[in-house]
Copies of this chain bind each other. A is one copy, B any other.
Amino acid sequence: MKNESTKRIKDSQVEMTEIVLPQDTNSLGTIFGGRVMQWMDIGAAICGFRHCRTAVVTASVDRLTFLVPLKIGHIVSVRASVNYTAKTSMEIGVRVDSEEPLTGKKQHCSSAYFTFVAVNEAGKPIVVPSVVPVTAEEKRRFEAAKKRRQERLTMREHETRQSRK
């Protein structure tokens, strides 16, 4: 099972635009964190579909942060981009920005790292095409994602050892 194909990062990038509706908000007119997460997951999944052209499933989410609250009526931009690819998984970075509709003022609202796994019809992991980072920004993200992946693996191994004791 060798993966010979490579794809460009920009070919799978996603840009979603949404508007915060009353149904997305709590009684104070502020959006639920869970609603933002749902948009981020869909954006990341579309990015994964485009990169792999197979089914993909969310395996984990890390360092999801909410910086400023999205309010009712705000225009929401969700952007997703493949940061790194391992054998059967990939890290997809997602960033959410808000745009105040009457002033056009933009703010960075939320970011997260999603790990998706490519699966076949039986739900078993399959090889993902690898990415070759081209721009300086892409290279920086690739290295940072590689490091995060290493940390996750170390942490998991550590936790497994702990639970064996």
**Contact of A58 with B by CB under 8 A:** yes
* Set of chain B residues within 8 Å of A41, measured between Cβ atoms: 32-34, 37
* Set of chain B residues within 8 Å of A35, measured between Cβ atoms: 38
**Contact of A3 with B by CB under 8 A:** no
The winner among A22, A33, A42, A123 for most chain B CB atoms within 10 A is A33
**Contact of A23 with B by CB under 8 A:** yes
Which residues of A in the span 1-32 have a Cβ within 8 Å of any Cβ on B? Answer: 14-19, 21-23, 25-30, 32
Majority DSSP secondary structure for residues of A touching B: mixed
**Contact of A65 with B by CB under 8 A:** yes
Interface size on A, residues (CB 8 A): 54
**Contact of A153 with B by CB under 8 A:** no
Asked if A34 and B32 sit within 8 Å, CB to CB, the answer is no
Number of copies: 6
Task: Tell me the bound Cα distance from A120 to B61 in angstroms.
Answer: 29
Take A18-B16, A23-B23, A34-B41 as given contacts and tell me if A102 and B54 are in contact as well, using a CB distance cutoff of 8 Å.
yes
Chosen A-B contacts, 5 in total, with CB atoms closer than 8 Å, are A34-B38, A49-B102, A53-B101, A61-B61, A69-B123
Residues of A within 8 A of B (CB): 14-19, 21-23, 25-30, 32-35, 37-43, 45-46, 49-50, 53-55, 57-66, 69, 72-73, 75, 99, 101-104, 112, 123
